[in-house]
Amino acid sequence: MNYPIPANTPEVGTFRQKFVDEELIATAIVGVVDVARSKGQSLEDLITEVLADDALLDYQQRHRLSEIIAVAWESLV
């Protein structure tokens, strides 16, 4: 990957760019998982947040994202 993995919540927000590709999305997901773990959150806590936040994604998109985050969480153990 050519992107640094974000170490905290503000760094995750800096990934907003004009062009977004799969690599950038994967990097952001890894960053979100790492930040959640560093804050002592469980996978369930993180999924609850993802499913509750409806600012950008509809329910179906949030549900799919929560599944992807769960896979990333388990892969990064």
Contacts of 62 (CB under 8 A, 6+ apart): 50, 51, 53, 54
pTM value is 0.71
The whole-angstrom separation of Cα 33 and Cα 71 is: 10
Q: Which residue carries 């509750």 as its tokens?
A: 52
What's the sign of the alpha-carbon dihedral 71, 61, 37, 10? positive
Q: What is the pLDDT of residue 34?
A: 94
Q: What is the pLDDT of residue 70?
A: 96
Q: What is the pLDDT of residue 37?
A: 95
Q: Dump pLDDT digits (tens) for 23-47.
A: 888 998 999 999 999 999 999 999 9
Q: Is the per-residue pLDDT at 17 higher than 60?
A: no
Nearest to 65 by CA among 74, 7, 49, 76: 49
